[in-house]
Every structure is written in C-alpha cells, then in structure tokens.
C-alpha cells in the first residue's frame, strides 16, 4: 500500500500539472522586463505603457490566432531595477512560466546576462533600448533589438563633436555600466580616429550624488565638451554640478539621457546640452495612431522608448501568429526573414538581430525642450 504522505504528494503534484497546462492553454504569455521601479523607473514606465497598448490592441481583436483559434495575450511583468542579478532571475522565471517572447530588458548590463537564459530556454528577446554591441554579437538566434547600436551612436557623436562643435578638448565620463562605458568607449575610439585624444577620461559610480571631486579634476583639463556615457539620474547631477563649479563646457550625451526628467530637474543647467537619439518619432506617419492612443490612455506624450516597446511587442505577436507556432526557433527565423511594417516604419533585421538602418541624430536642449539639430 502506498503511504499516505506519498499519495498526498502525488495528488498535489498532479494538481500543479493541471494548473500549469490549463493556464498555458488559455493564454499566450509574453514577458515585459525593465527597471519598473528605482531611479530609472521613468524609462520602465515607457516600456510598460508601450507593451500594454500593443497587447490591448491584440486582445480587443480576440487575441493571437494560434492553431486555428484565438488565444488571449497575457503580460508577465519583470522588475529588474537595473540590476543584472535581478534580470537573470526574472529571465529564469519567465522561461519557467512558459513565456514565448520577452520585451526587454532596458539596460545593456541586464539584457546581456539575461539573453543567455532566454537563448537556452528558446525564448524570443526583443530589447527596445539596449544598445551595447555585445548583445547581438554573442551569436544567439533568439536575440533582437529594435534600437540602434552604440558603435553607430559613438561614431555619430564623435563626428558631431569634431565638425559641428569644433571641439578639440573633450572630457569623457561614464557610469561604469555596460551601456555607459560601452558608449563612452565607442565615442573615444571614433574621436581617436579623428585625431582627438580625450583630455580627461574617468568613470563615476552609478547611484552616487556628489560628482564634484571628479568634475573638479576634469575642469583642470579645461574641456570644451564633456561627453557622458550613462543614464539621466547621473547626467542631471553632473550637468548641475558642472555649472556650480563654474564649468561652461558643452554637455553631450547619448540616448540614456533623452528623457524629459533631464530637462525638468536639471533646469537651466541642462540648457544648450546635446543628446544623441533617433530622429523625431512623432513625425513618423505609422506612429500617429499609437501616439494618439497613448495620449488618450495615459494623458501624456509618448516617451523615448514607448513606441520601441510597442513595436517590439507587436513583432513578437505578429511573428507568432504568422508562423502559427510558439517555438522560439521558428519565430526567430521568421522575424529575420522579411521586412516588417511597424509603427517606426519599415524594420528589417540582419542575421545578428540588429536593425539594418538606425540613424542617430543630435537633439539640443533649447528653451526647456529637446529640439532636433539639423
């Protein structure tokens, strides 16, 4: 006779199996992961809103057609708090709960370690924002990005500093993260090709509040431009403290700083800064409907990565429906096979999973707003 305890356990186990199988039959799960809380939560909100709008549109139409019937889409949220360790544990959680595709993560330092987990689990990962080249250089079939790469961004930045700003003395700072240091180093490399050696180069600690010591040291090099690879919380403090120390060098940074918070909190100090980002998304004809929906739903304008997140979610769901499969390999192959019409215009992936075209342009903070520089 089977002992009581074992029988009880068996019943429990079957119960679990039933619960899992019924759940997966009812919905199609995708994951959305990024810094939903913490100092970068403003970016996390953009990922959240974009993906929510995409999934709601699908569910209004009844869901994704899979195996001849409509299946509703369900989002699982992952808050990585920009911490790589959190990111990896979220990735495991997603893989174990049968997620088919993931929109995320936001930070390159999180996306890269998480991508290994997704690749092993056969889960599609499309990041709306991680620009570090290494992400798609690992040879994973399941990894994609709808944004650009930092080697592209760094090249544009160095050309801009040399030709438009006519600067020869450049101080380069970064936040030691995969994204920040990666971008700063790409810019340094391309500046080197143009014959400009950085007059000052240093990292700062992410989450720190006082950058005056390092800025005081940078000031000794008398830079005309301070280039920062990093995200807005540090950029705000850097630009404010530069002005407090009497530095009037032009502040130049990348897509991690393209957010209203930078202007709102840094105020006057941010005026005249240059930030590289893609050309004005709100002018893209295909994006108009999502921009309108976002305004109605959230009572605010889309952020830098809202539409990227919306597009990433749509690409995953479209590819699932068109391949009629929830197998990662098939969906990934299909994603690479053609040019997609998206809210950002035509998108085509190369074999690595990068988008073929991703032009970066510069924006200037002018009168308390980002204005695209011609």
Partner 1 sequence: MFTQQLVNGIVVGAVYALIALGYTLVYGILQLINFAHGEIYMLGAYLGIAVLAVLGTMGLTQTSLALSILLVFLIPMIYCAAYGVTLERVAYRPLRDAPRLSPLISAIGMSIFLQNYVQVAQGAREKAFPNLLQLGSFQVMGAYVSGLQVFILLTALGMMAGLHLFIQKTRLGKAMRATAQDRTMAALVGVDVNRVIAVTFAIGSVLAAVAGVMVGMYYGIVNHYIGFVAGIKAFTAAVLGGIGNVTGALLGGFLLALLESFWAGYVSAIYKDVFAFLVLVVVLIFRPEGILGGSGTERG
Q: Of 33, 36, 114, 124, which lies in the binding site for partner 1, with binding defined by CB under 8 A?
A: 36
Burial status of residue 166 (CB atoms within 10 A of its CB: 0-12, 13-18, 19 or more): exposed
- 212: contact with partner 1 by CB under 8 A: yes
Q: Hey, which residues between 216 and 235 contact partner 1 (CB under 8 A)?
A: 216-217, 219-220, 233
| Binding segment toward partner 1, per CB under 8 A, in 159-167, 182-190, 208-216, 296-304 | 208-216
Nearest approach in angstroms of CB 78 to partner 1 is: 15
DSSP letter at 269 equals G
Pairing of strands 143-145, 200-203: unpaired
Verify binding: residue 300, partner 1, rule CB under 8 A: no
CA distance 210 to 73: 45
Give the separation between CA 117 and CA 282, rounded to whole angstroms. Answer: 35
Among 53-61, 126-134, 238-246, 349-357, the segment contacting partner 1 (CB under 8 A): 238-246
- Does 83 bind partner 1 (CB under 8 A)? Our answer is no
Considering the rule CB under 8 A, would residue 210 count as an interface residue with partner 1? yes
Cis peptide leading into residue 316 (ω within 30°): no
Residues 34, 105 contacting (CB under 8 angstroms): yes
Q: x/- site string to partner 1, residues 155 to 194, per CB under 8 A?
A: ---------------------x------------------
Q: Which of 42, 199, 238, 249 binds partner 1 (CB under 8 A)?
A: 42
Specify the stretch interacting with partner 1 by CB under 8 A; choose among 109-117, 147-155, 158-166, 196-204: 196-204
Among residues 56, 120, 208, 280, the one that binds partner 1 under rule CB under 8 A: 208
* Total residue count of the chain as it appears in this document: 374
Decide if 110 contacts 83 (C-beta within 8 A).
yes
**Interaction pattern, residues 260-299, with partner 1; x per rule: CB under 8 A:** -x--xx----------------------------------
Q: Which is nearer to partner 1, 126 or 214 (CB)?
A: 214
With binding defined as CB under 8 A, does residue 37 bind partner 1?
A: yes
Decide the pairing of beta strands 361-366 and 369-372.
antiparallel
Pick the closest to residue 111 from 158, 43, 54 (CA basis): 43
Cβ-contact 126, 144 below 8 angstroms: yes
Asked if 123 and 129 touch (Cβ cutoff 8 Å), the reply is no
Which are the contacts of 273, defined by CB distance < 8 A and separation ≥ 6?
Answer: 239, 250, 251, 252, 253, 262, 364, 365
User: Which residues of the shown chain bind partner 1 in the complex (CB under 8 A)?
Assistant: 36-39, 41-42, 176, 202-205, 207-214, 216-217, 219-220, 233, 236-237, 240, 244-246, 261, 264-265
């Amino acid at each position: 006779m089977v002992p009581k305890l074992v029988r009880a356990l068996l019943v429990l186990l079957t119960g679990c199996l039933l619960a899992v199988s019924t759940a997966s039959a009812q919905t199609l799960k995708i994951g959305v992961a990024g810094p939903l809380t913490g100092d970068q939560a403003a970016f996390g909100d953009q990922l959240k809103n974009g993906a929510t709008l995409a999934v709601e549109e699908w569910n209004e139409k009844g869901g994704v057609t899979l195996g001849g019937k409509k299946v509703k889409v369900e989002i699982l949220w992952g808050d990585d708090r920009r911490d790589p360790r959190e990111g990896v544990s979220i990735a495991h959680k997603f893989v174990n709960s049968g997620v088919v595709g993931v929109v995320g993560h936001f930070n390159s330092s999180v996306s890269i370690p998480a991508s290994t987990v997704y690749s092993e689990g056969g889960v599609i990962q499309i990041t709306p924002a991680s620009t570090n080249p290494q992400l798609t250089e690992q040879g994973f079939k399941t990894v994609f990005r709808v944004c650009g790469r930092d080697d592209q961004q760094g090249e544009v930045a160095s050309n801009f500093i040399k030709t438009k700003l006519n600067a020869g003395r450049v101080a380069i700072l970064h936040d030691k993260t995969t994204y920040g240091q990666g971008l700063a180093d790409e810019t340094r490399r391309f500046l080197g090709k143009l014959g400009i050696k950085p007059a000052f180069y240093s990292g700062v600690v992410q989450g720190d509040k006082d950058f005056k010591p390092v800025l005081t040291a940078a000031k000794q090099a008398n830079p005309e431009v301070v280039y920062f690879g990093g995200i807005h919380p540090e950029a705000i403090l850097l630009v404010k403290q530069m002005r407090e120390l009497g530095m009037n060098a032009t502040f130049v940074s990348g897509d991690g700083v393209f957010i209203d918070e930078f202007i709102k909190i840094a105020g006057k100090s941010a005026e005249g800064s240059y930030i590289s980002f893609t050309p004005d998304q709100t002018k893209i004809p295909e994006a108009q409907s999502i921009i309108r929906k976002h305004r109605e739903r959230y009572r605010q304008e889309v952020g830098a990565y809202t539409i990227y997140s919306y597009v990433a979610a749509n690409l995953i769901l479209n590819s699932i429906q068109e391949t009629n499969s929830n197998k990662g390999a098939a969906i990934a192959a299909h994603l690479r096979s053609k040019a997609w019409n998206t809210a950002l215009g035509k998108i085509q992936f190369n074999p690595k999973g990068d988008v073929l075209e991703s032009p970066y342009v510069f924006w200037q903070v002018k009168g308390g707003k980002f204005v695209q520089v011609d």
